[in-house]
């Protein structure tokens, strides 16, 4: 036999009958290293050697890390997500990694993690009861067990499965960029797409009723801003007086109030498009002037207990409003008016009402701060049944 060329690789048979191949390649650490591959047949090992040599010829280094997924997630969260993403995003990613990914796949090495392992694990998690971890009976809507007295009887939602998959995919994609792995196996796995309910928007009559009946509410201006400008809850609660110019009738959205790590913080809005300057119509200007007078009265009544925060919407002593506590004001008002909508649906109502008035979609997108015009039209498609009914009635009348 002719002598093998340098770097050609070698294949030997092991005592157990499997084959062992060796070939020199350049690793991600920059050194040339002899790596091993294994297979049940000589052809299988030869194919693996050929693939490694093809990567070498293309200048693609071979990962030489033995990091487990748990180690990598810990590193990625601390050095990438926490540094470059919003605090709320880090909090969500960290929770998904700690509760789901690390217990389920944490011991797997990222270099050898396979798509089939990810797919099988996600399918199992999606079909388990989150309390007893038994399989979920979809027909009876309960876990396939009767021995757990305090079972929560709650399966993992499709949206949560999608979030788990998204965090794993983002983490492994960063590992690809850092040349720790060759490919992102999570991208090869598909998960069911959840259906998102955008909620029901208010009609013109209902919107007028809300503005009229909430006039004496101390958060009347907040409801007006949500309904007219389509501002998010966090944007409303993080709005400062220095961001509002009542003389020029403009408002700048540049902060949002969120609870992060057990503490209320002013953070950047959801997306870059969320930072925006919005003109104020007279109804909003009037509501803000009245609110400023009401707040001055509360400041005087609180006296030394008042804590100045510069925020427009505060508690009766000037402290920031807890985002989750907004429902204490909204739910009684909603019930009194007979409205079955969430507070966030006021934002959807603003989109629908503006589009119904013939405002171009790109203008509506700028007003409410959507990241993409497709989001604007998706909200409208769900919330504009009356307009669809009118259009189809016109078509029916034409055809008849």
What is the reported pLDDT for 120?
Answer: 94
- Containing structural domain, residue 380: 204-393
Q: Are residues 272 and 366 in the same domain?
A: yes
> Mean pLDDT, 10 residues at a time, over the chain (400 residues)?
59 89 81 85 90 82 80 91 86 93 94 92 81 52 51 72 94 90 91 66 88 92 93 92 92 87 79 85 94 94 92 93 85 89 88 84 86 71 61 77
Is 21 exposed, middle or buried, given 0-12, 13-18 or 19+ CB atoms closer than 10 A? Answer: buried
What's the order of all strands across the beta sheet hosting 19-26?
Answer: 10-13, 19-26, 32-39
Q: Are residues 143 and 163 in the same domain?
A: yes
Q: Are 69 and 100 in contact (CB under 8 A)?
A: no
Residues 6+ apart with CB under 8 A from 390: none
Boundary of a domain, candidates 132, 160, 188: 188
Q: What are 24's strand-pairing partners?
A: 34
Q: Are residues 217 and 149 in the same domain?
A: no
What is the reported pLDDT for 133?
Answer: 55
Q: Are residues 53 and 75 in the same domain?
A: no
What stretch of H or E contains 223?
helix 220-229
Q: Are residues 92 and 16 in the same domain?
A: no
pLDDT tens per residue, range 272-330: 778 889 999 999 999 999 999 999 999 999 999 999 999 999 999 999 998 888 888 89
Q: Are residues 385 and 338 in the same domain?
A: yes
Q: Which residue reads 């003389």 in tokens?
A: 247
Is 243 within a domain? Answer: yes
Is 183 within a domain? Answer: yes
What is the reported pLDDT for 4?
Answer: 55
Q: Are residues 368 and 221 in the same domain?
A: yes
Overall number of domains in the chain = 3
Rg of the Cα trace of the chain? 29
* CATH number of the domain residue 374 falls in: 1.10.443.10
Boundary of a domain, candidates 155, 188, 221: 188
Is 305 within a domain? Answer: yes
Is 194 within a domain? Answer: no
What is the reported pLDDT for 89?
Answer: 87
What is the reported pLDDT for 392?
Answer: 75
Other residues' Cβ atoms within 10 Å of the Cβ of residue 352: 27
Q: Which residue reads 């796995």 in tokens?
A: 189
Is 289 within a domain? Answer: yes
Q: Are residues 91 and 225 in the same domain?
A: no
Boundary of a domain, candidates 127, 154, 188: 188
Q: Are 237 and 326 in contact (CB under 8 A)?
A: yes
What is the reported pLDDT for 142?
Answer: 53
Q: Are residues 136 and 214 in the same domain?
A: no
Residue 143 and residue 132: Cα distance in Å, rounded? 8
Q: Are residues 116 and 30 in the same domain?
A: no
Q: Are residues 265 and 325 in the same domain?
A: yes
What is the reported pLDDT for 235?
Answer: 92
Q: Are residues 52 and 82 in the same domain?
A: no
């Amino acid at each position: 036999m002719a002598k093998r060329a340098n770097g050609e690789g070698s294949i030997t048979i092991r005592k157990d009958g499997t084959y062992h191949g060796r070939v020199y390649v350049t690793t991600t650490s920059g050194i040339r290293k002899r790596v091993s591959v294994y297979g049940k047949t000589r052809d299988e090992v030869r194919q693996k050697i050929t693939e490694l040599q093809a990567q070498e010829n293309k200048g693609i280094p071979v990962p030489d890390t033995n990091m487990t997924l748990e180690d990598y997630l810990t590193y990625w969260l601390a050095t990438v997500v926490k540094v470059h993403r919003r605090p709320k995003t880090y909090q969500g990613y960290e929770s998904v990694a700690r509760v789901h990914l690390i217990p389920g796949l944490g011991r797997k090495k990222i270099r050898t993690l396979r798509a089939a392992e990810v797919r099988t694990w996600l399918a199992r998690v999606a079909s388990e009861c989150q309390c007893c971890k038994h399989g979920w009976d979809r027909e009876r809507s309960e876990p396939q067990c009767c021995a757990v007295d305090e079972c929560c009887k709650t399966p993992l939602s499709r949206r949560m499965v999608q979030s788990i998959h998204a965090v794993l995919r983002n983490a492994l994609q960063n590992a690809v960029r850092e040349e720790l792995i060759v490919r992102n196996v999570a991208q090869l796995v598909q998960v069911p797409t959840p259906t998102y309910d955008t909620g029901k928007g208010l009609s013109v009559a209902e919107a007028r009723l809300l503005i009229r009946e909430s006039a004496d509410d101390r958060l009347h201006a907040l409801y007006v801003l949500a309904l007219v400008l389509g501002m998010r809850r966090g944007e409303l609660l993080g709005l400062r007086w220095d961001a509002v110019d009542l003389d020029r009738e403009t408002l700048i959205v540049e902060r949002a109030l969120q609870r992060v790590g057990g503490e209320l913080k002013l953070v950047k809005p959801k997306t870059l498009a969320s930072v925006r300057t919005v003109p104020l119509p007279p109804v909003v200007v009037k509501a803000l002037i009245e609110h400023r007078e009401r707040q001055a009265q509360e400041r005087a009544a609180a006296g030394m207990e008042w804590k100045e925060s510069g925020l427009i919407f505060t508690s009766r002593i000037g402290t920031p409003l807890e985002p989750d506590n907004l429902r204490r004001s909204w739910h009684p008002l909603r019930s009194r008016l007979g409205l079955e909508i969430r507070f966030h649906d006021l934002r959807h109502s603003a989109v629908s009402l503006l589009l119904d008035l013939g405002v171009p979609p790109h203008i509506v997108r700028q007003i409410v701060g959507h990241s993409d015009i497709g989001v604007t039209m998706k909200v409208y498609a769900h919330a504009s049944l009356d307009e669809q009914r009118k259009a189809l009635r016109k078509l029916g009348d034409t055809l008849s």
